[in-house]
Structure 1
Amino acid sequence: MKILFDHQAFTGVRYGGVSRYFYDLMVTLRQKDVQTQLSILFSNNAYLLESDAFRVQSFRYFLGFMPTNMLFSQVNRLWSIAQLQRNQYDVFHPTFFHPYFLKHTKKPYVLTYHDAIKDKFGEQFGHIDNASKDLKQQLFDRAARVIAVSQNTKNDLIELFRIQPEKITVVHHATAFQTLNVPETFRISVPDAYLLYVGTRNDYKNFIPFLKAIAPTLQTYSHVHLLCAGGGAFTPEETQTIRHLKLTDRVSQRGIDGDWMLYRLYQNALAFVYPSLYEGFGIPILEAFAAGCPVVLSRASCFPEVAQEAALYFDPESAADSQSQIEKIILDESLRQSLRQKGRERGRDFSLAKMASETLQVYQQVV
């Protein structure tokens, strides 16, 4: 069987959950003797550039970030169209919602729906993607199957779109961190005690409200820091908030230079905290599990489905509850040890091999 994937999630995105999902899926399918082809010529995606699995050419942002991305996206789109028209594949799996392929593919296609954040909350978080609900409905109508990354996301699909439940298959995410071999000699400099926040901090991620909620705790326990990994440098609003809360020397941000560094950040943390108001799955949860890091989550959307009893939960709308649970994780070493063990056990339910096998079953159903 030959599966064709396209360029959409890879052209200008260096890191990110969606591109990581498709990269891991393609590589793991190859281990199952499934031919996977990625129709792309130019990319700055770290997963592709640091791997010998796919041949791509990096590019410079000589026109500025967005104009250059748009230019190379157009080039990659033309290349994808050419591969579609060659018709040398069994199933097409587009990596995002641009409908360019509808006029060019004669084979069945499968779509993965990662989260309902924009479609559920509308203009409040409308910047997340450029695809309208009407456009997504058109794509779902013509798709042979739709993959939802959690049961919660499947429920959202049924609620928000005209789509039959039997057309949707739940395939949970996984993480390569389960088999990541970090050399013992690889070390990073971190605070002696810190809570870890990973990824972007905008809007529904609920970062500033969470920071305000736990500020008294950070002030009380002066040895504890909050370390934010990835997501870019603090914005002026975030910097002002941190300064106003008198936490300038207690809250820091650093970039993520590869999986080894991120693994160590999880491994050395008191806990990984995820205060988001809504997610489709939450891959950092699995990364934390794999690294033996206690997990503290908002009691929202798919989080209880993914982590079950292997996490501590708080109400993201309640400052008092947020503060209470964070203090509990700081003070109780036995609780942290229990969550580490539960996390390792729960993490075994989410392997790349299982994700690839279940996705392959979907492909086989539509051929």
Structure 2
Amino acid sequence: MRKPLRLGIDTRDLRTAISGQKTYLEELVRAFKNRQKADIELVLLDTRVPAYLGNHRYLRLAEHLNLHFWKQVVLPLKAWWRRCDVLFTTDYHVPFFRPGFKTVTVFHDAFFFEDPEHYSPLFLKFFHRVTVPAAKKCSHIVVPSIHVQKKLEQWLQLPAQKLVPVYEAPKSIPKSSFSPEEITRKLTDWGIRQHPYILHVGMLNKRKNIPLLIGAFNQVASRFPDMRLVLAGSLNDKEHINDREQILAAIRLSPFTQRIVLTGYVPDADLSLLYGHASLYVFPSLNEGFGIPVLEAFAHGVPVLVADNSCLPEIGGDAVLTFNPKDTDALADQISTVLSNPALAEKMKQAGKARLSHFSWQKAAGELAELFRSIA
């Protein structure tokens, strides 16, 4: 019987990650713990040093140094001390120093190369001078889509076989267990009780292209007088991707401002409720590495529109309709097409459920386990 592989997973990112990256790490750790095979022995590696999440310039500098001291000094020593065979990091950053173990990291996207203006100059310097060279020394770099594999093949000048696509899956959102009275209260609080609505879920930053979605809603709102637009998620306040003023201005200038709902942060139980009552999910992002909300909408039986760029057509397949994310009229036309055609909407719901069968965290964990076994 083969000895179980000791897999070290860096879980520090759970302290700092938001949205998709946090979901990725949480779900994979859960999936590895739930695997029936005994071929992997998990070793979760973390630090007691707190991470700084604010915007103070010098404290952010200290946090950058703290991160890289963990990655380049403490983490490899812990992995060695715990006798890991493979060290897996899910946040791009990986140690140069690898005493007695192999390394695999995850690049969720190619944003650092494609949209450098969305990052601080300091972070980019660390990324290009430390993160990228260390990642190139890994046995493999895991990517979430074929789109990202092709992009990184160009940017990193690496052979395609070193970049391994492993599809992600929807977040494990618990189904709503609210009483009818609680559901009524929550929908009333959001201003959408007895109203159909178009939904977007995620951090509201520059890349998400929310002003275009608001503009498209303005065009269709008169035709669908009961329809609301629900933007579920926090307004991102990070300096280089902050789109707060543009989003708030677009809402303020809309002739239908009273029909646009900003929910702020939404806990998982409430998120299930929002997905479950939505008429349509729209994802107008300018660039994505995977797009977990697309699968979340499929899981809740919601028809989906996605931008015709990056990985989104790859992930959505034949279950989505696409549009040019720089063309407000094109998005408005697609929204009208789905909302005015119940038969099409129902067909998209069924196609979404079928498409969802291609994605699961257990499947992702199994593919990663095979990859780790192949290099140990």
Same fold per superposition (TM over 0.5): yes
Tell me which of 106, 113, 120 is aligned to 1:112.
106
> Are 1:87 and 1:105, in contact at CA under 8 Å, matched by a contact in 2?
no
Matches within 5 A, 1:190-269: 190=190, 191=192, 192-232=195-235, 235-269=244-278
Report the equivalent of 1:26: 29
Root-mean-square deviation over aligned CA pairs: 2.9
Does structure 1 residue 159 correspond to structure 2 residue 154? yes
| TM superposition shift of 1:245 | 1.9
Report the equivalent of 2:321: 312
Unaligned runs of 5+ in 2: 237-242
Alignment: residue pair count: 349
> Are 1:173 and 1:350, in contact at CA under 8 Å, matched by a contact in 2?
yes
| TM superposition shift of 1:300 | 0.9
Matched residues in 1 for 2:225 and 2:314: separation?
A: 34
Instruction: Give the letter for the 1:319 counterpart.
Output: T
Moved more, 212-221 or 62-71: 62-71
Q: Deviations over 1:191-233 (max 9, x none)?
A: 1111111112222221112322331212442211111111238
Tell me which of 75, 96, 103 is aligned to 1:102.
96
Matched residues in 2 for 1:343 and 1:366: separation?
A: 36
Aligned-pair identity (%): 22
Matched residues in 2 for 1:79 and 1:201: separation?
A: 34
> Are 1:193 and 1:269, in contact at CA under 8 Å, matched by a contact in 2?
yes
TM-score computed with the length of structure 2 as normaliser: 0.83
Tell me which of 291, 315, 329 is aligned to 1:282.
291
Matched residues in 1 for 2:120 and 2:209: separation?
A: 16
In 2 relative to 1, CA 79–219 (structure 1 residues): closer, same or farther, beyond 3 Å?
A: farther
Moved more, 296-305 or 131-140: 131-140
Matched residues in 2 for 1:133 and 1:61: separation?
A: 22
SS class of match (2:142): strand
Instruction: Give the letter for the 1:273 counterpart.
Output: V
> Are 1:8 and 1:73, in contact at CA under 8 Å, matched by a contact in 2?
no
Report the equivalent of 1:142: 137
In 2 relative to 1, CA 364–84 (structure 1 residues): closer, same or farther, beyond 3 Å?
A: same
Instruction: Give the letter for the 1:272 counterpart.
Output: Y
> Are 1:42 and 1:76, in contact at CA under 8 Å, matched by a contact in 2?
no
Report the equivalent of 2:46: 40
Report the equivalent of 1:46: none
Unaligned runs of 5+ in 1: 44-57
Tell me which of 72, 84, 87 is aligned to 1:89.
84
Matched residues in 1 for 2:222 and 2:129: separation?
A: 48
Matched residues in 2 for 1:309 and 1:242: separation?
A: 32
| TM superposition shift of 1:180 | 3.9
In 2 relative to 1, CA 286–82 (structure 1 residues): closer, same or farther, beyond 3 Å?
A: same
SS class of match (1:109): strand
Report the equivalent of 1:301: 310
| TM superposition shift of 1:24 | 0.9
| TM superposition shift of 1:293 | 1.2
Matches within 5 A, 1:315-326: 315-326=324-335
Report the equivalent of 1:12: 16
| TM superposition shift of 1:308 | 0.8
TM-score computed with the length of structure 1 as normaliser: 0.85
Report the equivalent of 1:126: 119
Instruction: Give the letter for the 2:86 counterpart.
Output: V
Instruction: Give the letter for the 2:177 counterpart.
Output: P
Matches within 5 A, 1:321-340: 321-340=330-349
Matched residues in 2 for 1:63 and 1:222: separation?
A: 41
Q: Deviations over 1:269-318 (max 9, x none)?
A: 01111001111110111111111111111111111111111112111122
Matched residues in 1 for 2:99 and 2:225: separation?
A: 59
Instruction: Give the letter for the 1:212 counterpart.
Output: G
Matched residues in 1 for 2:29 and 2:52: separation?
A: 26
SS class of match (1:253): strand
SS class of match (2:15): coil
Moved more, 86-95 or 226-235: 226-235
> Are 1:8 and 1:96, in contact at CA under 8 Å, matched by a contact in 2?
no
Report the equivalent of 1:67: 59
In 2 relative to 1, CA 75–258 (structure 1 residues): closer, same or farther, beyond 3 Å?
A: farther
| TM superposition shift of 1:18 | 0.8
Matched residues in 2 for 1:276 and 1:332: separation?
A: 24
Q: Deviations over 1:326-366 (max 9, x none)?
A: 11122222221111111111001101111110111110111
Q: Deviations over 1:140-173 (max 9, x none)?
A: 3210011111111111111111211121221100
Does structure 1 residue 347 correspond to structure 2 residue 356? yes
Matched residues in 2 for 1:271 and 1:65: separation?
A: 40
